[in-house]
Structure formats: C-alpha cells, structure tokens
Amino acid sequence: MGFAITRVLALAAALAAGFAGSASAEVSTVRLAKQFGISYLPLTVMQEEKLFEKQAKAAGLDLTTEWLRFTGGSGMNEALLSGNLDFAAGGVGPALTIWGKTQKNLKVKGVAALNAMPLYLVTTNPDVKTIKDFTEKDKIALPTVKTSIQAVTLQMAAEKAFGEGQQGKLDSLTVSMGHPDALTAMLGGGSEITAHFGSSPFQEIELKNPKAHKVLDSYDVLGGPHTFNIVWASSKFADANPMVMKAFVAALNESMERIKSDPEGVAALWLKAENVKMSQEDAVAIIKSPENEWTTTPKKMLSYLNYMNRAGLVAAKTEDWRDLFFPEIHDASGS
C-alpha cells in the first residue's frame, strides 16, 4: 500500500514538474506594439488594466509586457522580422504584406482583428469633391505609401474611378506621415499637405474644422464594413508560446467586453492614457458609433487580399480567410 502511494506521489510530482517546465519554457516578457488612434482602444484597455498579465497568471504564467509605439506598419514588420517584437498591430495592408512575404520562413499570421471601422479621406481643398479632382498641387498624407491600409484602399478607389490598370494613379500624391502630424499639417495650412487619409479620432477632429470635408469613405470602397486593424505574430513565436497566445486572445476578448459594457469608463481611460485633446462626450460617441464594431472577427480580409494579389502587392493567395490567422479565432464567422 505504501509503495503504491509512493508511486502515485512520484507520478504526480513528475506531472507537476512537466507542467511547470512547459510553462517556464514560454517567454516571460512579451513585446507588443500599437499605433496612434482610438482604433487601438482594445490594446490600450489591455495595457492600462494589465489584462494580458491577468490572463497569463490565470494560465500559470508569470508575464511582463513591454509596449512599443510605431507610426506605421512597415516599421513594425521590420521589428518583427528582426526578432525585436512579438505582437504587431496595424492595418490590414501591412499585415497581408508580411503574411505574403513570410510563407516560406517565419509564416506570419493574424492573431485576431481589433475592430471594423471606416476610414475617411479628408481634404481642405474646396475644389476636391471626388478623388478625380486631385491634382499635382495636392499631397495626401497617410501612414505608409503603397502598403498601409489607407494606401491600398486609395488604390482600390482609384481603380474604380479611373479604370483597370490605373490603381496607382494617385500614388505620386501620397506622403508617409503619422496621423497626429498629418492632422496638424493639413489643418495648419502651412505645408504641402492638402488631404489626409486617416482614421478615428483624427478624421472626426478634422471634420469639425469648417475648412475640411470628406472625399472618400472606405466602407463605400469595400462595399460595407471591413476590418481596419489586426494583431499579427510569427508562427515561430506562436508555436513556441501556445499558452501566451491563448492568454493574449483571452485578454483581448475581455477588453472587447469592457468596451461594450462600459464605453464611458473606457473613454475616460483612453483619453487619460493617450493624452488626447478631445471631450469625453466625443470619445464616447466614436466608441458607440454604429459604424464602429469592436470585434476579433476578421471582415473582408479576402477583399483586400484579392486586390493586393491583382495589383502585384502580395504574391501568396488563398480563398479561405482562416489561412491568414492562427487557430485561436478559426471558429469566428470571418471573411
């Protein structure tokens, strides 16, 4: 009897050591990146409320986080490729670009969507009513020329407006610039920037200025709501850290629920964390807008990919959105 008990205790100890070894094999510090704007609200809530650390601890992991800030997706992709970043967050364009380029090595994939939100192309040039009215005198600021989701959406709109093969007609007018600087440059009137293809809350702030008006809405270009931002990581990281991946998705879902249940409290948290000069009322209005959906479910990813395939921006192809993402969200009704 004593021998049997001893064997059971030994087996239990071995199993416990195995589980502990598995947990300790995963990273203890995770490096995450985000950009500017209220579209990154789920990550801001996660960061400020330490939800990632909370979910990791519940899974038996002692985790610390390092949050980095970028003004565009290309810089994040470089950091990811060099091993200096674990989770990148940005627009669909850069995410699909690195997915296509790493099919044979790091195999970067999406972890989850952050939202579905419209993007507005805003201008202070009174003569510009549609994108056909832009001339060489205009400069359009956007996060990254050619590859940002704004740049890709502008190309898709140009193809519709000017005809097949003309998707790059407005590329020469685009300038890479972070949203805060683009807003200041356009509204200040002292620079060459006459338009800004941005995101919330910058587009709402701009449209409050009587000199500014909307030229283009990305929902019109895509034919309905589409994913704006997603989080992505390499398969190398995901395969080595399955518990971290699950904890991240759990934390993101918790953040989404917090946004939906307490928009006022989340608005106050975001305004303070980001030091944004905007009223809480305006921030709540953006968070609660019917156009803006806080969801991890990808929408119209294949619409963007199909265009980027056709335009030669991404060579890799797929007809299943799940090929673009890790398994944690494969049960979602994505597109």
Instruction: Say what percent of the chain tops pLDDT 90.
Output: 85
pLDDT at 232 (0 to 100): 97
Chain centroid to Cα 295, Å, comes to: 12
Q: Return the closest-CA partner of residue 296 out of 325, 266, 265.
A: 325
Given a cut of 70, is residue 19 above it in pLDDT? no
Domains of the chain: residue spans and CATH: 25-117+227-329 (3.40.190.10), 120-222 (3.40.190.10)
Residue 87 carries which DSSP code?
Answer: B
Work out the average pLDDT over 292-307: 97
Q: Is the pLDDT of residue 318 over 70?
A: yes
Residue 109: which pLDDT band, with cuts at 50, 70 and 90? Answer: very high
- The predicted pLDDT at position 3 comes to 44
- Under DSSP, is residue 25 helix (H, G, I), strand (E, B) or coil? coil
pLDDT over 90 at 72, yes or no: no
Over 70: is that where the pLDDT of 4 sits?
A: no
pLDDT at 189 (0 to 100): 86
Residue with tokens 């989701």: 149
Residue 23 makes CB contacts below 8 A (sequence gap 6+) with 59, 60, 61, 243
Residue pair 225/110 in contact (Cβ under 8 Å)? The answer is: no
Q: What is the pLDDT of residue 75?
A: 84
Which residue carries 């040039």 as its tokens? 125
Q: What does pTM read for this prediction?
A: 0.87
* pLDDT tens track for 230-267: 999 999 999 999 999 999 999 999 999 999 999 999 99
Q: Quick check: 12 pLDDT over 90?
A: no
Helix 41-49 to helix 51-58 angle (10° resolution) is 60
How many residues comprise the chain?
Answer: 335
Residue 168 has pLDDT above 90, yes or no: yes
Give me the phi and psi of 79, to 5 degrees please.
-65, -40
Is it the case that residue 10 has pLDDT exceeding 70? no
Average pLDDT, the chain: 91
